[in-house]
Amino acid sequence: MDNPMDTPKKYSDYVDKKSPNSPIFLNCIKAFFIGGFICCIGQFIFFFCKSKGLDTAASNTVVSIILIGIAALLTGLNLFNKIGKVAGAGSLVPITGFANSIVSPAIEYKSEGYIMGVGGKMFTVAGPVLVFGISASVIVGMIYCFFV
């Protein structure tokens, strides 16, 4: 009797065979267009800031603040998850996904109170991102300090 659950290897093959193939090409096209569109919104804001006389660094800051503001607002209005369902990585990889990853757990745990619910659960997904990003930047700084 050939049981598909015999060994872990067989089981994972069985699961791969049974689970529907995600249309990777279609997903990539959606991600490409929506991700590119979000970046273009950023570029548009960037040009606007430039035309108002801000320098490059300040313009980049304004761009990320506005995009994060929009993403936070859309998440609160329950629209961002609908975009995310279609776009996949297209809305995850730009800074909007980062904003969504902070706002959504915080809203979910709002019922646990503002200190431990919102304040504590805010960084469940974004915490690792910040920890590893900032740790890596410290290492880069130290390497630069000692070897360059």
If the CB atoms of residues 9 and 85 are measured against another protein, the closer one turns out to be: 85
Residue 92 tokens, joined = 């995850």
CB 125 within 8 A of CB 105: yes
Which of 14, 54, 107, 120 touches another protein (CB under 8 A)? 107
**Residues between 2 and 21 with contacts to another protein, criterion CB under 8 A:** none
Which of 99, 113, 115, 116 touches another protein (CB under 8 A)? 99
What's 31's DSSP letter? H
Decide: is 145 part of the binding site for another protein (CB under 8 A): yes
| Integer Cα distance of 143 and 148 in angstroms | 7
Residue 5 tokens, joined = 């659950």
Q: Largest Cα–Cα distance in the chain?
A: 76
Which of 10, 36, 113, 116 touches another protein (CB under 8 A)? 36
Closest contact distance (angstroms) between CB of 146 and another protein is 8
| Integer Cα distance of 48 and 59 in angstroms | 9
Which of 2, 8, 9, 24 touches another protein (CB under 8 A)? 24
Which of 6, 13, 43, 113 touches another protein (CB under 8 A)? 43
Alpha carbon separation from 126 to 24, 35, 61, 134 (Å, rounded) = 26, 20, 19, 12
**Residues between 73 and 92 with contacts to another protein, criterion CB under 8 A:** 73, 75-78, 80-81, 83-85, 88-92
